[in-house]
Amino acid sequence: MIKNNKLKLIIASVIILLPMVFGLLAWNVLPDEIPVHWNANGEIDNYESKAFAVFFLPLFLLGVNWLCIVAMTLDPKNKGQNVKPVNIIIWSIPVISLVIGFVIYGTALGYKIRADMIIMLLMGSMIFIIGNYLPKCKQNYSLGIKIVWTLESEENWNATHRIGGKVWTVGGIVLLSCAFLPAPVNAVVALATFLTIVLIPVVYSYNYYKKHSENKEDK
């Protein structure tokens, strides 16, 4: 996978590190303490040093991105994987890095930014996109809904990812709508949405397994 996506991976890595470049350029005007976390009410509840925000966060995200890439590369079932789910993995962290950089630097420089709204829009967009591509994801060990029943049966995998795609697409729309709700209502609805889109495919997969196991026993 790395061989076939060298240029994409280089560009993605550069994008991930752009907030660090901005932080260095704006070093003298940034405060010593920079907000890095917001609570359910949309209020800042944690600050870190300027060095942490400028260096650690982008480098950490770069490490996470490459960890995902290496995991996909080493996965023996990923050799014939559809390019669209792979692209989601490659480009998700770069987008997250830019958004996080915008939020923390913008807030640190005194701009009024609704971090909860921006993060909700980001999450909703990503869940919506993932939902559209889940049905195209071939059975493997590093992408998709990886539970015991989907990994044991390709039919179960395909059926679960079809229903999962629909559920995640709807979930993405709900999360996008949450961005316009007041805090902490948006956080409560978002949490309920996450639990729902995770649990429905798992329950569906188990029921699919039970139904087809019983059919085999009857034969």
19 token code pair: 């907030």
* One domain for residues 47 and 153: no
Of 56, 88, 113, which residue sits at a domain end? 113
Of 61, 79, 113, which residue sits at a domain end? 113
Residues 6+ apart with CB under 8 A from 138: 77, 80, 81, 82
* One domain for residues 21 and 93: yes
**Interhelix angle for 83-108 vs 57-74, to 10°?**
170
Domain of residue 105, residue span:
1-113
User: What mean pLDDT comes out for the span 90-96?
Assistant: 95
Task: Give first-to-last CA distance, the chain, whole Å.
Answer: 42
* One domain for residues 140 and 202: yes
**pLDDT tens by residue, 23-67:** 999 999 999 999 999 988 888 999 999 999 999 999 999 999 999
* One domain for residues 213 and 138: yes
| pLDDT value of position 218 | 55
Give kind and range of the element (H or E) at residue 128: helix 115-133
143 neighbors 89 (Cβ within 8 angstroms): yes
* One domain for residues 58 and 71: yes
150 neighbors 144 (Cβ within 8 angstroms): yes
* One domain for residues 137 and 105: no
163 token code pair: 């229903």
Is residue 215's pLDDT more than 80?
no
